[in-house]
Amino acid sequence: MAKSQIKINFDQPSIEAESLNASNNNDDLMWPASNAMAASDITDDLNAAIIAHDEPLNQSELKAVTSVISYVAYSQNASEQIVCEMLATAFEVKDVKALPRGYYDEAIRYLVDLRVQDVMN
């Protein structure tokens, strides 16, 4: 199987894949412009992801995080305030409500793995 090199020309919206094997020039491929993603689409998606990453948790996410905080506190015989402070400290935020959306999954994983007594000692 020949190795391929992908070239994107942003002046003409198409993508060319060229074979790196000199004897296999018939394997050149050209995808129509309709299948090529425009550079502006890529940057728009990237900018939206960056903005969403820094926004605070939405109501549903905040409810889920506080529910897991309550469960961890109850199951490990600790106060919810202590668990909240541990989470806030771990993610370097003032309060759990200030936790950015981009850290939602990591925060849930942190709480699931948290052993309050191990941290307190």
CA–CA separation, 2 and 27 (whole Å): 9
pLDDT higher than 80, residue 110: yes
Write out pLDDT tens, residues 19-55: 455 455 544 555 555 555 555 666 666 555 555 567 8
Write out pLDDT tens, residues 58-76: 999 999 999 999 999 999 9
Structural contact between residues 13 and 38, judged by C-beta atoms closer than 8 angstroms: yes
CA–CA separation, 11 and 65 (whole Å): 46
